[in-house]
């Protein structure tokens, strides 16, 4: 197995605050990897470093072995690194279909086209409908975002990202805020992701993480605190201590 | 790969596939504009001004309504176009009207591109202020460079050649002007209409709705905004050029905050991001201004102000938004 996405001694500081400290991390092809940690552990900062929203203070980010430190956010998406957001970032005034259309149009290079009607790109519409059918969103494809339940909105968040056909998928708390009665639709969708995609999931929800992940990395105060299989992490007394709020200054 | 019936039957897919199609009702404004020509020959000066305002509002709609670029300085481009035509004509360098429009569009577009490169790094209030400053700078340049721009007095009696070498522009009897402006407006409108229904136009809406997400789907957001701003500026330049040609003069009013604010009011009144908002808004504004100023010559702007407050409080989508809200129950019933 080759590493899809890798970081080497990655650090990020905001003034005196070290949000990411010396993180060396590898995401394998087809991985189901989870990143967990208490609030303020630097999980979202780490995602922002991977996607190019933030530039690292030190260290490197590599995609398939080549350094992408200087590759811009939009270019990284084109390489195949896509993310979802912890808080929905959707095109609220548009229909579900139009939301997904946006992503697919960018990926297939239709978006710069100024003179052909968007509705004549049948290939884009078909692909979007296919994706929505797969995620069981086809019957509400005509609705605008505010008309949907929060769980469905989270699903659209995922649909937009899948429209980019990513090789690396970074899921930032995909089920956050979704009422438990609805959370199964998100979990089912994540379970059904293509096997070839390397998935990194960031979450607090231990049920979700343990159901889904083959490997878990624990981040505490910006640094890697522990890494291993779900069984190892579950049995690790120090990790349990961190999650019970008894973390001491070692580590 | 065969399309399954589920997909093509889906109401969302159908709606998207036909949304750009031409509807019969869309001929209405153009027929009315033509009828106006025959019905009110004495008001053609007013009509010409109205059509130019419509074109200006449509250019703003592209930047503000679709791409969400908030600007208070759009008259910068209107003025750039007007002064381009004015200076070229006054100094007898170029007096042919149609090609003059292209030159004006190029100049205004260049001003839009250059300022967009700098300004579009910012958003929100900062952007609003910077667009205002850009316009102020241009206005001051036009004021100071009196040698070429005529300074505060502007340039009058511009020698504009007859249209196609045949139709004279007569400032007192603006028959030619009206039809000429209407024709140019139609061409520009079709261009903008094509643009907003294209995938590019769709992505402009995306940037308005959620810039962060547009970055995350791999869109070159800043470059795309700059291109949109440039196109919008070029069209505003055409509107300004038409104004200069139709009136045979230019002065500092083409570059002022008054003009920039008016076009913004027009768009808010009609409903931004709706293509026809500029048309409805311009008609509503001009007619209101006309009658209010007749009835209350000193305080007519108060009435306009109150109307704007009402729109901002109760009808964010402007007049077209209100129509949408009123007809929605009917449309939904029809869809079921």
Residue B176 to residues B163, B180, B187: CA-CA distances in angstroms? Answer: 8, 6, 17
User: What stretch of H or E contains B137?
Assistant: helix B124-144
- Topology classification of domain B25-279: ABC transporter involved in vitamin B12 uptake, BtuC (1.10.3470)
Q: Is residue A168 part of a domain?
A: yes
The residue range of the domain holding A95 is 3-243
How many Å apart are CA A66 and CA A8, to the nearest integer?
Answer: 12
* pLDDT value at residue A177: 82
* pLDDT value at residue B241: 94
Cβ of A113 within 8 Å of Cβ of B197? The answer is: no
Buried b (16+ CB within 10 A) or exposed e, B13-46: bebbbeebeeeeeeeebeeebeebeeeeeebbbb
**What 3-state class would DSSP assign to A90?**
coil
* pLDDT value at residue A103: 93
Task: Find chain A residues with C-beta within 8 A of B206's C-beta.
Answer: 91, 94, 102
Model-level pTM?
Answer: 0.89
Using a CB–CB cutoff of 8 Å, tell me whether A97 touches chain B: yes
Here the CATH number for the domain that contains residue A72 is 3.40.50.300
For A3-21, the pLDDT digits (tens) are 889 998 898 989 888 888 8
Q: How close, in Å, is residue A82 to chain B by CA atoms?
A: 7
CA closest to A133 among chain B residues: B7
In this prediction, what percent of chain A has a pLDDT beyond 70? 96
CA closest to B207 among chain A residues: A91
Q: Is residue A14 part of a domain?
A: yes
In this prediction, what percent of chain A has a pLDDT beyond 90? 25
Q: How close, in Å, is residue B121 to chain A by CA atoms?
A: 15
How many Å apart are CA B4 and CA B315, to the nearest integer?
Answer: 41
Q: Is residue A250 part of a domain?
A: no
Q: Is residue A42 part of a domain?
A: yes
Q: Is residue A249 part of a domain?
A: no
* pLDDT value at residue B6: 47
For A178-189, the pLDDT digits (tens) are 888 888 888 888
Task: Find chain B residues with C-beta within 8 A of A141's C-beta.
Answer: 10-13
Task: Find chain B residues with C-beta within 8 A of A125's C-beta.
Answer: 7, 13, 16-17
Given a cut of 70, the residues of chain B with pLDDT beneath it are 1-8, 334-336
Does A95 or A207 have the greater pLDDT score?
A: A95
ipTM for the complex?
0.84
* pLDDT value at residue A244: 58
Cβ of A89 within 8 Å of Cβ of B219? The answer is: no
- Is the pLDDT at A250 greater than 60, yes or no? no
Residue with tokens 């095109």: A91
Q: Is residue A95 part of a domain?
A: yes
How many Å apart are CA B267 and CA B253, to the nearest integer?
Answer: 19
Q: How many domains does chain A have?
A: 1
- In sequence order, the 6+-apart residues with CB closer than 8 A to the CB of B1 are A126
């Amino acid at each position: 197995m080759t590493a899809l996405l890798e970081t080497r001694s990655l650090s990020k500081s905001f003034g005196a605050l070290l949000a990411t400290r010396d993180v060396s991390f590898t995401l394998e092809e087809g991985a189901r990897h989870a990143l967990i940690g208490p609030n303020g552990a630097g999980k979202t900062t780490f995602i922002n470093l991977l996607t190019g929203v933030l530039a690292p203070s030190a260290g490197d980010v590599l995609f398939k072995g080549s350094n992408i430190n200087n590759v811009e956010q939009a270019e990284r998406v084109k390489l195949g690194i896509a993310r979802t957001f912890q808080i929905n970032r959707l095109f609220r005034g548009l229909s579900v279909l139009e939301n997904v259309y946006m992503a697919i149009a960018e990926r297939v290079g239709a978006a710069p086209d100024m003179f052909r009607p968007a509705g004549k790109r049948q290939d884009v519409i078909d692909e979007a409908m296919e994706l929505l059918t797969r995620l069981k969103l086809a019957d509400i494809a005509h609705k605008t975002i505010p008309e949907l339940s929060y769980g469905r909105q989270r699903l659209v968040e995922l649909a937009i990202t899948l429209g980019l056909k990513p090789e690396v998928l970074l899921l930032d708390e995909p089920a956050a805020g979704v009422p438990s009665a609805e959370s199964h639709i998100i979990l089912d969708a994540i379970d059904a992701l293509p096997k070839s995609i390397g998935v990194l999931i960031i979450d607090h929800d231990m049920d979700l993480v343990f159901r889904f992940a083959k490997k878990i990395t624990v981040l505490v105060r910006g640094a890697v605190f522990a890494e291993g299989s779900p069984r190892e992490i579950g049995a690790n007394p120090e990790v349990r201590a961190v999650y019970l709020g008894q973390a001491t200054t070692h580590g | 790969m065969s399309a399954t019936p589920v997909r093509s039957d889906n109401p969302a897919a159908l709606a998207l596939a036909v949304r750009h199609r031409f509807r019969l009702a869309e001929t209405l404004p153009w027929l009315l504009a033509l009828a106006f020509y025959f019905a009110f020959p004495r008001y053609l000066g007013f009509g010409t001004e109205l059509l130019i305002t419509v074109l200006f509002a449509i250019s703003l709609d592209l930047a503000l309504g679709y791409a969400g670029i908030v600007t208070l300085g759009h008259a910068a481009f209107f003025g750039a176009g007007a002064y381009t035509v004015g200076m070229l004509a006054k100094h007898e360098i170029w007096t042919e009207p149609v090609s003059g429009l292209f030159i004006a569009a190029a100049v205004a577009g260049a001003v839009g591109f250059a300022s967009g490169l700098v300004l579009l790094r910012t958003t929100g209030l900062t952007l609003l202020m910077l667009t205002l400053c850009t316009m102020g700078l241009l206005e001051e340049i036009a004021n100071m460079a009196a040698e070429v721009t005529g300074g505060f007095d502007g340039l009058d009696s511009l020698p504009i050649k007859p249209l196609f070498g045949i139709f004279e522009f007569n400032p007192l009897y603006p028959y030619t002007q009206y039809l000429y402006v209407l024709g140019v407006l139609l061409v520009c409108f079709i261009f903008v209409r094509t643009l907003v229904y294209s995938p590019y136009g769709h992505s402009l809406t995306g940037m308005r709705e959620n810039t962060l997400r547009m970055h995350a789907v791999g869109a070159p957001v800043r470059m795309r905004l700059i291109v949109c701003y440039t196109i919008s500026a070029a069209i505003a330049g055409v509107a300004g050029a038409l104004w200069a040609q139709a009136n045979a003069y230019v002065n500092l009013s083409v570059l002022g905050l008054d003009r920039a604010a008016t076009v913004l009011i027009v768009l808010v009144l009609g409903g931004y991001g709706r293509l026809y908002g500029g048309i409805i808004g311009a008609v509503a504004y001009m007619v209101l201004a006309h009658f209010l100023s007749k009835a209350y010559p000193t305080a007519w702007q108060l009435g306009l102000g109150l109307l704007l407050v009402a729109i901002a409080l109760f009808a964010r989508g402007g007049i077209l938004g209100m129509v949408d809200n009123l007809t929605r129950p009917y449309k939904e019933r029809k869809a079921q």
